Structure 1
Amino acid sequence: MKFNVKIPRHLKEAYKSELKDYRHCLLKNQYADAWYHLERSHIIGQSYPIEHTYSHWLMLRFGLMQKNTKEVFGQVLRLVVGGWKSFINHVPLGNTGGANVPPLKRMPIPNDIEKLIDTK
């Protein structure tokens, strides 16, 4: 069994870039775009416990800010189980992480992210 502990540098840079874009959109009240970047950060970081958990933490905060009860409850559930599933390398790849999709559903990975993930 493979244990994921540390995200590779190239993925960490892409992850941080998505979070920067998220914050930028949030400051401009561009909430749909902000959410889009949170979803991308989730896809990039979902195989690594720290990044995966942090993406869900930001999604929870976003849900609270938007007063979206479904998102808040969905993120609480994901925060409880997401990190350890990353650690044991058992995540549904491509899942965008929001409460609008089933937590165990695999989804297509955007091409640019797939290329990053495939880079060793």
Structure 2
Amino acid sequence: MTLNTYMPDALRPFYQSELTQYRAQFAQGHWAHAWTHLERAHVIGQAYPVTHSQVHWLMLVFGVKIKSLREVIGQIPRLLVGGVKSFVGHIPVGNTGGANVPPLRPLPIAADIQDMFAQAGIHRNHNT
């Protein structure tokens, strides 16, 4: 069991870039593109309690703003337990975090995100 607390400095710029792109797309009313960047931020940050919880909070707020009851209801339990699962090192690697995906299902990680992990010296697999 691995205790994760803080995102490594080498990974943080990739995470922040996704959040910046999320905010820019959201501000322009490009909901689908905005959501994609939140999902990518989730994959990047899900192993770390603070960033994992932050993305679920943003997903909850997103659901409220677009008036998606399904997303709001789906994010509440994820927000409550996601950070804890990150802290103890038991996450469904690659899961994109939305209510449209079962919360415990590991998913393939996009090649460019795998490259981000590699550049940051981090190895992710479905057994994390």
Which TM-score applies when normalising by structure 1? 0.97
The residue identity in structure 2 corresponding to 1:105 is: R
Q: Structure 2 stretches of 5 or more lacking a match?
A: 122-128
User: Any idea what the Cα deviations from partners look like across 1:42-81, whole Å, max 9, x if unmatched?
Assistant: 0000000000000000000000001101100110010111
Does residue 37 of structure 2 align to residue 32 of structure 1? no
Question: Contact 1:10–1:116 (CA<8 Å) still a contact in 2?
Answer: no
Partners of 2:90 and 2:46 lie apart in 1 by: 10
CA RMSD, aligned part only?
0.8
Q: Which residue of 1 aligns with 2:126?
A: none
**Higher helix fraction: Structure 1 or Structure 2?**
1
Partners of 1:90 and 1:77 lie apart in 2 by: 16
The 5 A counterparts of 1:1-120 are 1-118=1-118, 119-120=120-121
Q: Percent identity among equivalent residues?
A: 51
- Compute the displacement of 1:6 (Å): 1.0
Question: How many matched pairs?
Answer: 120
Partners of 1:10 and 1:81 lie apart in 2 by: 26
Partners of 2:89 and 2:114 lie apart in 1 by: 17
Q: Structure 1 stretches of 5 or more lacking a match?
A: none
Aligned-partner SS, 1:97: coil
Question: Contact 1:47–1:89 (CA<8 Å) still a contact in 2?
Answer: yes
- Name whichever of 110-119 and 35-44 sits farther off: 110-119
